[in-house]
């Protein structure tokens, strides 16, 4: 691995963030930070009635992610290497999709205060996939609170992710299309990706995996 101390992995629901985070944390002997998705008591209701439960769900996630980042990156607890299966900025992506204008205004005022305390990664890996692939992966894992997710929502979310990372400039960014690769079960796919992480990272790089060539 190149000298990268903090990697954050991003992507829409079903992109494979947690799977890759677990793999990289083991390879790097790094502390693993996993998003506490299932701790959100509003999430199941949100997928049943997005308009009614969007604001509660989003604020819970925002404060949960803020608390987790602040605790894990406190100076006395910080380990040399860290791999996270989310970027703190992801909260804004979801909020832009789920909240109405008045709710988003309130949300923006709060997040603008909190984000000042959050450290930036050395590298962000954005796992990209089309909406149909994402929905297929979501259905395969059969999480009860995700059973009401539909293709329209995934398409909207996916477009928001693509737009956000197309304009992303805060840190080095590696964009990986995962439509036809499997870095969990295919060693060649994983080895090819790991080779990319050994290279210097400046700006945005679009990586075409072996399985796509």
Residues 107, 123: Cα–Cα separation, whole Å: 26
Spot the catalytic one: 5, 45, 49, 85.
Answer: 85
Q: What's the rounded Cα separation, in Å, for the pair 178 and 45? A: 30
- B/e letters for 61-85, b = 16+ CB within 10 Å, e = fewer, are bbebbbebbeebbeeeeeeebbbbb
Active site residue 85: yes
- Burial 95-104, CB ≥16 within 10 A → b, else e: bebbbeeeeb
d(C-alpha 43, C-alpha 140), whole Å: 19
Contact 88, 115 (CB under 8 A): yes
Nearest to 126, CA basis, from 2, 6, 1, 8? 8
Active site residues: 85
């Amino acid at each position: 691995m190149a000298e990268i101390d903090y990697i954050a992995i991003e992507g829409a629901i079903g992109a494979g963030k947690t799977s890759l985070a677990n793999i990289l944390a083991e390879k790097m002997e790094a502390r693993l930070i996993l998003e506490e998705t299932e701790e959100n008591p509003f999430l199941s209701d949100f997928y049943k009635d997005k308009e009614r439960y969007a604001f509660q769900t989003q604020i819970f996630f925002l404060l949960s992610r803020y608390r987790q980042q602040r605790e894990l990156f406190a100076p006395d607890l910080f380990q040399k290497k860290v791999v996270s299966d989310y970027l703190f900025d992801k909260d804004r992506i979801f909020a832009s999709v789920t909240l109405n204008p008045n709710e988003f205004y309130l949300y923006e005022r709060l997040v603008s205060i909190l984000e000042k305390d959050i450290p930036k990664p050395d590298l962000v890996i954005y796992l990209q996939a089309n909406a149909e692939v994402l929905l297929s992966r979501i259905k395969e894992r059969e999480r009860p609170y995700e059973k009401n997710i539909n293709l329209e929502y995934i398409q909207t979310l996916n477009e928001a992710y693509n737009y956000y990372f197309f304009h992303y400039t805060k840190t080095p960014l590696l964009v990986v299309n995962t439509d036809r690769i499997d870095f969990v079960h295919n060693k060649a796919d994983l080895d090819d990706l790991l080779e990319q992480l050994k290279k210097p990272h400046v700006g945005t790089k679009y990586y075409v995996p072996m399985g796509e060539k």
